[in-house]
Amino acid sequence: MMVLKSCRCCCGTMRLEKAAKIIGIVFTVLGVLSMVSSAIELHKLDVGSEQLLTQLGELYPHRDAERLLYHSRALLVARLCTTVLFTAICAALVVGVFRSSRPLVLAFVVLFGLYMLVSTVAIFYAFYDPSVVIDVNTIAELSENDRTMAKAIIYTSLAVILGVYGFFWYLLLVVYSYYKELAKRGPTVEHRQLF
């Protein structure tokens, strides 16, 4: 796998250690915000389920509206659980960078790599079935106005998300390169104390 010597972004070039710290802190904050967002969406879904069932029945007469609602609720719960895992992984990266702990940085690389792989596959699948990524409430709101416009908005959103995921793959490569840099240094005192 390719290894970077430094992180290059729109602001210039920085050391891998500093970039890994920034990535860990920003991703941890984004994880917390995503957990709050998922919890709010789940609450909205539970509160407005009767009205939503009626809308889904009108929009998708050939599909079972209760099953779609159940599927959407299950996806939101899964998203909340993976967000909790994501936030824990990012917090481990922050601790790993500050302590120069290879196992914690490796844990981030492996788990975030798996997370990105599954998420990227889900994005590609979402082009076939958009309810995987975008919840039923959003689809119902968009479809009320114009179904053609709704499909265009959903597919454009998925394309943008796919582009953002390309950037996340680069950030994963930056952290992996930092891990390789740590491996060249050898074990540190913090490494022995932590594990």
pLDDT tens-digit map of 66-120: 777 777 778 888 888 888 988 998 999 999 999 988 899 999 999 989 988 988 8
Q: Please, which residues bridge with residue 8 across strands?
A: 13
| Per-residue pLDDT at 29 exceeds 90 | yes
DSSP class per residue in 160-187 = HHHHHHHHHHHHHHHHHHHHHHHHHH--
Total structural domains in the chain? 1
Is residue 159 in some structural domain? Answer: yes
Q: Read off the pLDDT band of 195 (50, 70, 90).
A: very low
Is residue 32 in some structural domain? Answer: yes
Q: Is 48 helix (H, G, I), strand (E, B) or coil?
A: coil
Can you tell me the mean pLDDT for 2-20?
75
CB count in 10 Å sphere of residue 48? 12
Is residue 193 in some structural domain? Answer: no
CA distance 103 to 176: 12
Domain of residue 161 covers 16-186
Nearest to 23 by CA among 166, 182, 162, 168: 168
DSSP class per residue in 74-110 = HHHHHHHHHHHHHHHHHHHHHHHHHHT-HHHHHHHHH
Is residue 5 in some structural domain? Answer: no
Is residue 10 in some structural domain? Answer: no
Average pLDDT, the chain: 79
Is residue 191 in some structural domain? Answer: no
Per-residue pLDDT reduced to its tens digit, 166-177: 999 988 998 999
Is residue 70 in some structural domain? Answer: yes
Q: For the chain, first and last CA: distance in Å?
A: 27
Is residue 94 in some structural domain? Answer: yes
